[in-house]
Structures are given as C-alpha cells and as structure tokens.
Chain A
Amino acid sequence: MRPRIAMLCCGLLAAPAATWAETPMSYQRTFGPAVDPVTRLAWGLGTVSLVVIVVIGVLLLGSLLRRRDAADGDSGQLAVRHDGGGMAWIYVGSGISLVVLTGCMVWTLIVTAAVARPPSPPLLTVQVTASQWWWGLRYQGAQPDRTFTTANEIHIPVGQPIRFELASADVVHSFWIPQLAGKMDVIPGQTNVLWLQANKPGTYRGQCAAYCGVQHAHMAIFLVAESAQDFAAWQNHQLAETPMPVSDSDRRGEEVFQGHCAVCHTIRGTGSAGHVGPDLTHLMTRGTIAAGLLPNTPGTLAAWIANPGSLKPGTHMPAQVLSGSELKAVTSYLTTLN
C-alpha cells in the first residue's frame, strides 16, 4: 500500500505547485508581515508533521514486514510470546515527541507574539461591516469629512500596516484574505480588530470563512494594494460626489433609482442614503458586483437588477418590478457612476 499512497501524495502535492498562479486563495506564499512568519511556521510544522508521518509509516511497515526469527515460529501454532520488552519504544518515542513538541510550542509562541500587533501604528483604519452576503467598508479619515463608505473592494497603500475594525450587521462571518492575514471572525455585538500589510502591489482575493447562510459561498472580497499615490488618488476620487446625470435617459435612470433603489442603496450627492445594501456612489470603480459573483459590466448589472435571486439564490435584494425601458435607463445611469 505504501508506495501507492506515497505516489498519490506526491502527485497531489505537485498539483497546486503547478497551478500556483491560479490559486488566489492559497496561502502557501504570502505577502505581508502580518502573515509571513505564520507561513514560515506553517511550513515548518507541516514538515515536522510529514516527517512524523513518514517515520511512523516506516516503523509500522518495518514492524509488519520485519522477518521474525524462525526459532519461535513453531508450525504456525499460535503460541503466545510473553516478554516485558517494548517499553523502551514508549520511553524513546514519547521522549523524542516531547522534545520536538516543546520546540514547536516555543516557535509558535514567538510567532504569535510577532504578528499580534503591527510594527508601527497603522496609518489607516477601515471599518468592515459584514452582512448577508456582502462587505460594507468605511474608511476612517484623518478628519471626519475624509470618511467615506464603499463596498466589497478594499484599496490600501502598499507597505503600510492597515487596521481593520470588524463588525457584523447580522450573523457570524469571518474576514479572511489568506495571502495577507489569517482569519478574524466577525461576531455580532463585538468589534474584532485585525491588522494587515501588503508588501507587494496587486489584487488579493478574500472570502467569508464562517458559514453565514445560503450564500456563504458567494461572499468574496477583493483587496487592491497600490502605491501611495495611486491610493491617494483613489481615496480622493471616492470622496468626490457623483456628478448629476446629464443625458435624459440617465436622468430618467436616476429618477427610477430614487424611486426603486434609494431606500436600500446610497449614491452620495443624490439624496439617496439607504444603508440596507452596498453604497453605489462609485460603483463603476469596482471590478465585480454581488460580492465577487459577477464581473461589473452593464450586461451583468442589468441581469442582476432584473432578477438577483436567479443569479444568487437567497439574496436579500428583491427583484424590482421594472419595465424594460426603466431597466435600461437605470442600468445606463449606474454605468455613469465611476
């Protein structure tokens, strides 16, 4: 059996390595001080574990296949051997385990302390509110009026520790961007705090990691780490109010939005200030809609507005009763929100 298993394991271990690029949720390689020591620790413990498995496997195999001396192998008659031997195994085995274990414990404690808090005080605090099934984000500015709200797509400057305050609007969720930090549960009635830092620019994928209802599977979040300038630019753009619609159809769309959507959604500058669904002020600056379910294109937008339940069964967004022209108008209006 062993060889087969071994082959199998190697094959499986190779599989991810091959497809490394396409595994945005894999945390075997990480990109920030909040998690890098942990990754090293994980590899370390993993290796220890594999060694243990192999050693025990070999010993087991050995004990099974080892040749017994013919002396007491009398004619297959089931004689019973009585000797006090073997205790040495327990002493030695447990002894070694204990030593290895202690080592691992110490290493773990060191790493725990290392990642417990950021090296320097975070320059930015993002308040995350998890709801079924999307992420609300509020950036705490230096002054209150630098505070703004967005959803499902975090932007941070590279190389800076960022503080996340996690609150839940309904049930237990878990905030997890594997390549930047470990999980932190989002629990109603308490605010959990997490810090992370991205040392490499890029887009990192995250996902809710605690079962939170039927659409737990579709509650992704994206984190874009960018240069300080790009981030500042993004921040200022987010702070700006959306311009009033110009074309008639867009004005019509805005009017439809106010009537049908504004009770749940906010578009800053239009008087709509709904808190039930994501803030749409700069919708078109986001890569996806419906918490990572669909790419953000006019087509998907229209499909989503027409019948969200068919794309994301169980979503709390109701299907609006809209005429074709209304749907068209509101979609084209939304596409102006960049």
Chain B
Amino acid sequence: MTTVESDRAPIIATANDQSMSSAALLRSWEAKPGIGGWLSTVDHKQIGIRYVVTAFLFLIVGGLEALTMRLQLARPNQTLLTPEQYSQIFTMHGITMIFLYALPVLSGFSNYLWPLLLGSRDMAFPRLNALSYWVYLFAGIFLYSSFVFGKGPDNGWFNYVPYASLTYSPGPNIDVYALGMVLYGISTTVGSINFIVTLVHTRAPGMSINRVPILVWGTLTASVGNLLAVPAVSLAFFMLWMDRQVGTHFFDSSAGGQPMLWQHLFWMFGHPWVYAIVLPAMGIVSDGLPTFCRRPLVGYTAVALATVTTMVLGFGVWVHHMFASGLPILSLSFFGAASMAIVVPSSVAVFAWLATIWTGRPVFTTAFLYFAGFILLFVIGGVSGFMTAAVPVDWQLTRTYFVVAHLHYVIIGINVFPVIGGVYYWFPKVTGRLMKEGLGKWSFWVMFLGFNVAFFPMHILGFLGMPRQIYTYSDGLGWGTPNLIVTIGAFVFGGGILLFFINVILSLKHGAPSPPNPWDAASLEWSTASPPPVYNFAVIPIVASRYPLWEDKMNEDDGASHDSNRSSVAAGMLLDQGRETIGTTLLDAEPDVILRMPGDSYSPLLAALAMTAAFVGLLLHSYLVFGIAFLLTLLTSVLWLWPQLSLYQREPSHE
C-alpha cells in the first residue's frame, strides 16, 4: 500500500445513525442499485449470504443424492439404480457435501461475521472476497456440468488411480473432476489468504490477538491449513489430468509411475481438509454456547490452543487413510499414535464446553439445543475416529460402513449441526427477524433423532462387514434390517432439514422483528443494528475485553475495573471519507493506518468467468479457447490492479 505525506487524525465521534456522517458512510458504502450493483458488490455481508445460500442449495442436491442411494440400499438386490448411476451418485454426493457445502458454508459464516466480530467495515481484500465466491460458484457448476457430457465422476471423491486413469475411466467425467478441483482450489486459496490478512490487519483497536472470538481462531486455523493443504491436491489433480490428456505417467506403474503417489498427495490434503471443515464450526459453538449459558467460555486460551494443535496434528496423520495399503508396520504405528493423539485437544474442547454449560445457566433456545446436541455427536464421531486410529482394528474397519458412520458423525455432527445452530443464532442479526422457536425445536429433535437412527446403525453395518461404495448387496449377509433402519432414519433426518428450511422461509416473512442484540450476546456484531448497515459500524468500536458487550454485567461481580479499560462501542473513530476502515497492528491491535477500501467492481466476476472459461477450454481440448480466456484473465487482473487515487493510504497522527 502506497502512502503519502499528509496525515490525518481520525475524528472520534459517537455513533448516531441519523447523523450527517452516517449518511456520508451510506453514500460511500452502499452498492449501486439494480442488477449491476448486485453483480459488482464486494460487501462482505452480501458475499457471506451468497456463500451460505449457495452452499445450502448444494446441500439439498447432495442430500437428495443421498436419499436416492438410501432407497437403492434399503433392501437387498434392489435395481432402482444401475451400478453406473449409483457410482456417479455416491461420488457426486461426496464431492458436493465435502467441497461444495461443508467448507463454503463456513466461509459464508466467516465472511459475513468476521468484520462484524472484529469491529471492522469489511474484509481486508473485498474484491478478492468476491472473486473467491464467484470462482466457488462456477467451480460447483463446472463439476456438475459433467452430467452434460453424459456421465458424472464415478470413482468416489478420493478418486484413486489407476481407476481414474484414461484406461479405466475414458469419459470426460474424471477430467471434469480434476479440472474442477484445480479451479475450486483457486477459490479456497484466495479466500484463505483474505481471512489471514483480515485477521492480521483489520481488527478494531484494542482487539488484541487474545480477545478475538474462537470462531475467528477456527477459521484462521482452517485458512492456514488450506493454504498448506490445497496445493497438494491441486497438484495431484493436475498431474492426473496430465496423465489423462498430455500422456505423462505420474501414476502409471507400467510406465514407471507410482499409484501410491496419488493416495499420499490426496490424503496429505484430505485430512487437514477434514479439520478445515470442522474447526470453524467448533468455533461457532464455542462462541454460541457462552451466550446461552450466560457466562464466558471456560478455558478460552485452552480451546484456542486446542484448535491450533488439532490442525497441526492433522498434518501428520494422513497415512491413517492408507493403513491397509501395505506400508511398513513401523510407520503405520507412528501415524496411528499421532492420529490417536488428536483425542487430547478434542477432549480439551469437549470439557470446556461441558464446563461452560455446567457452570452456566443455560437458556434452552433452538440454537442452544443444536450446540448442546453437537457435543454428543462430536464425542461419538470422535471415539469412532479413535477406534479407526488403532492400526490393526482399522484393517477391519476401514472401507466399511463403520467409516461411513464415522465420517458422517464428524461432518454432519460437527459441521451441519453447529451451522444450523449458527443460522438460528445469527438469523436475527442477518435478517432483522427472529426464527420461529417452536418449529425450530421440532426441526432440531427430528434432525437429531433422524440423524442417529440413520447413522448409528451404520457402525453396526460396518461391524457386519458391509463395504462402502457397493451399489447393492445380496441377501443372507445380515445387512438387510440395519440398512432398512438406516434408510428410514435418513428420510427422517431429511425431514428435519426440510423443517429447518421451512422455518427459514417462514421466518424471513413472518419472523418477529429483532432488536440489535436479541440474545443479549457479548460480541461486537450485536452492538450494531439488525440487519447491520452496509458500513457495519457508524464508528469503529474500541475493544478492551473478550466480551465487550458484557463488561457492565460481568463487572457487577468484581467491581475492580474502571472506565479506563472499558470497551467503547458507542464512541470511536469516525472514518467517513469514502470507504475507510482502520488498520491495526498484529498482536495488540494498536491503530496503525487508515485503510482505504476499494469500491464495488466487476473485475472479480469477470476474472472468475475468464478463469472458468480457461478451464472449459482445457476440458474441451480447445487450446484456442484456453488461450483467449487466459489473456482475458490477465486483462481483468490489469483492470483489477489499475491504480486508483482514492486508494492511497494515509497514516493517523499519534499523540
């Protein structure tokens, strides 16, 4: 960021949404009206909402795929689906849920919430933020476009070679998957960078690193993890595409390649990824629970550290997906032990949550139910993971329905439940209306019941030796009854989700209007209006504790504090000369610089379109299309980077 000599001392003012300055803020922040504004906006709230909505749409598609599979498996020797259809469905189900729902929905939450949680006016790179979303959307469409070519990916989401090689999967479906994942990787990567820089740079003054909400810790850890993990998978998929289309032999043993290379590369990414899609969700719980338990989270530091530790360990355990691939026993034992070790940070988190509830005074809202229910599912998913970490036991468990049960407890239990809880929790903030509690409780219980009926018996199916990814099974293996129960449970669970969506739609129209802070919560987002103004905060709040909105209440207990170390949300820096927010230092969040934020722009959308076109070109072997699209990408980046006087930064004067 370039700087010019003339400094400016930010005016300290008190927030007042009727003031002149607010009008000025509105002028400079709000998007152009109409479709143009909609396409060009870089407002993190807009983008966050789009992320969440898109992710939920993919959730519905993936869910329907799941239900179809359950119909096929309900009884032995069903012929509802052909083997080929089944393969495509279970593959797309995995791809959809893991790539197109689980992470994006969390990115959505974080996108929407971060600046509000951090007392800032936008993410550090608003346009990068928009790009990340558009690329995600197009990548999703790209992946599903495979059906247009007559066949979707059909090799499971981990897509082992050599089945994924041209010899055994000649169709374009695997190319679509490979290229789609490389494209998708771009979205994830830029998103992660954005989160990291945002945390480093744009927290409100005083929000030192030990005061940020756990959700921020979770997303930060996930982002760093993604930055390190995604390159592995992008590389792997690109190598696969080269093997298929350029004639290289990275994975072809008969030409000097090595099939195991794929498994290593994929799981080096795959395992950290699993943590990337649960840690932020755990963050949601860690921030939500205290609100409803009417007390701060027990062991904030411990939980924050546990979050980071989990991810660090997560990078050293990828081999536990490959225990049966004939690797040396010694290394297996090491990776097994490392995988078990993850129990420790997890238990820290669990007991922190338990303690929070135990020592608090829970208010039984729907959101709270989701958070509390989550804890049990987290434990069940955790211990089943702990069992698969035992190498010799895993030789039996792996690739059976036990693993299917495990990963659904982990991903649904630790991702879906907190996310939906999170929706109930922040819905009023986002829409200005409260969701219906009665229907909400129903949706929770139906989901919770259905979920356990659907997925707990899968453990037993695993013990009964049912392998995953089989499109049918013959009679007399004892798998019939549990499968029927699973199918029933699956539909109940689906019903629960349906209730939730109904609730969302109803509440959007008829929900009770919500005050700025309906739950009397403690973090900054509740200090501004519901829904928040486009500029988030009329004045940048100044933070003095982890729970800025609870300081008065908590200090009733110990009157030991003075106004000096109180957070100030009413009065703060008024930055109303164009799109501005405050940049602060890494650790202590001292005011450092006034950041001029870029305005709305089409370049993210154009760049995303151009990139996608380039990948389409590769897919169709039309190197002309690729070339043109590549040039367009460069052009849009030039447009993007074109210097704007309005973006010159000025430093505040210190006295």
Contacts and interface: CB of A to CB of B under 8 A. Distances in A.
| Direct A–B contact in complex, judged by CB atoms less than 8 Å apart | yes
Contact of B163 (A62, A79, A86, A213): A213
B326 A5 contact: no
Given A22-B476, A63-B358, A209-B399, A101 B295 contact: no
A184 B465 contact: no
A227 interface: no
A49 B386 contact: yes
A192 B329 CA distance: 12
Contact of A171 (B87, B163, B472): B163
Contacts of B361: 68, 72-73, 81
Nearest to A26: B464
A275 B499 CA distance: 57
A97 to B, nearest CB: 4
Contact of A217 (B344, B448, B473): B473
Given A63-B358, A87-B302, A98-B347, 15 more contacts: A15-B482, A25-B478, A41-B392, A52-B383, A56-B354, A81-B295, A90-B298, A97-B347, A105-B340, A108-B390, A116-B329, A183-B395, A189-B254, A207-B467, A214-B87
A60 B393 contact: no
B64 interface: no
16 contacts: A12-B460, A16-B460, A27-B396, A37-B392, A42-B387, A64-B362, A86-B352, A89-B298, A90-B299, A109-B333, A112-B391, A187-B259, A209-B324, A210-B160, A214-B471, A216-B469
Interface in A161-215: 170-172, 174, 176, 178, 181-185, 187-190, 192-193, 205, 207-215
- Among A1, A39, A56, A214, the one with the most B-chain Cβ atoms within 10 Å of its Cβ is A56
Contact of B557 (A68, A83, A189): A83
A89 B553 contact: no
Interface of B: 82-84, 87, 154-156, 160-163, 167-168, 253-254, 257-260, 294-296, 298-299, 302, 324-326, 329, 332-333, 336-337, 340-341, 343-344, 347-348, 350-352, 354-364, 372-373, 375-376, 379-380, 383-384, 386-387, 390-400, 445, 448-449, 452-453, 456-457, 460, 463-473, 476-478, 481-482, 485, 520, 522, 550, 553-558
A112 B258 contact: no
The majority secondary structure among interface residues of chain B is helix
Size bracket of the A interface = 35 or more
A123 interface: no
A104 B393 CA distance: 12
Contacts of B466: 25
Contacts of A172: 160-163, 259
Contacts of B344: 94, 97-98, 101
B68 to A, nearest CB: 16
A193 B127 CA distance: 54
A205 B359 CA distance: 53
Given A85-B359, A217-B83, A211 B163 contact: yes
B85 to A, nearest CB: 10
A108 B168 contact: no
Interface of A: 1, 4-5, 8-9, 12-13, 15-16, 19-20, 22-28, 35, 37-39, 41-42, 45-46, 48-49, 52-53, 56-57, 59-60, 62-64, 66, 68, 72-73, 78-83, 85-90, 92-94, 97-98, 101, 104-105, 108-109, 111-113, 115-116, 132, 170-172, 174, 176, 178, 181-185, 187-190, 192-193, 205, 207-217, 313-314
Given A112-B391, A215-B83, A8 B453 contact: yes
Contacts of A15: 457, 460, 481-482
Contacts of A188: 162, 253-254, 259
Contacts of B358: 59, 62-63, 66, 86, 89
Q: Which 9 A-B pairs have the closest CB atoms?
A: A182-B395, A189-B253, A25-B465, A93-B351, A86-B355, A23-B478, A86-B298, A89-B355, A192-B326
A110 to B, nearest CB: 10
Contact of B348 (A5, A20, A90): A90
B334 to A, nearest CB: 10
A287 to B, nearest CB: 14
Contacts of B375: 56, 60
Contacts of A60: 354, 357, 372, 375-376
A42 B396 contact: yes
Nearest to B154: A214
A62 B481 CA distance: 34
Given A101-B340, A217-B472, A5 B452 contact: yes
B203 to A, nearest CB: 23
Contacts of B168: 132, 170-171, 213
A26 B463 contact: yes
Given A45-B390, A216-B470, A56 B376 contact: yes
Contacts of B352: 86, 89-90
Nearest to B332: A112
Nearest to A88: B355
A185 B469 contact: no
A25 B467 CA distance: 10
A223 to B, nearest CB: 14
A97 B345 CA distance: 10
Contacts of B341: 101
Contact of B363 (A19, A22, A48, A78): A78
Contacts of A64: 357, 362, 364, 372
Given A26-B478, A104-B340, A187-B325, A178 B465 contact: yes
Contacts of B343: 97, 101
B463 A28 contact: yes
Given A41-B392, A80-B295, A182-B324, A1 B472 contact: no
A115 B387 CA distance: 17
Contacts of B258: 189
B396 A217 contact: no
B554 A19 contact: no
Contacts of B356: 86
Given A16-B460, A52-B379, A182-B395, A190 B347 contact: no
A48 to B, nearest CB: 8
A111 B392 contact: yes
A82 B162 contact: no
A183 B396 contact: yes
B359 A115 contact: no
Nearest to B399: A209
Contact of B396 (A81, A98, A182): A182
- Among B329, B397, B457, B467, the one with the most A-chain Cβ atoms within 10 Å of its Cβ is B467
A38 B396 contact: yes
B383 to A, nearest CB: 4
B260 A190 contact: yes
A72 B481 CA distance: 51
Given A38-B393, A81-B557, A97-B344, A56 B379 contact: yes
Nearest to A111: B392
A185 B457 CA distance: 26
Contacts of B351: 89-90, 92-94
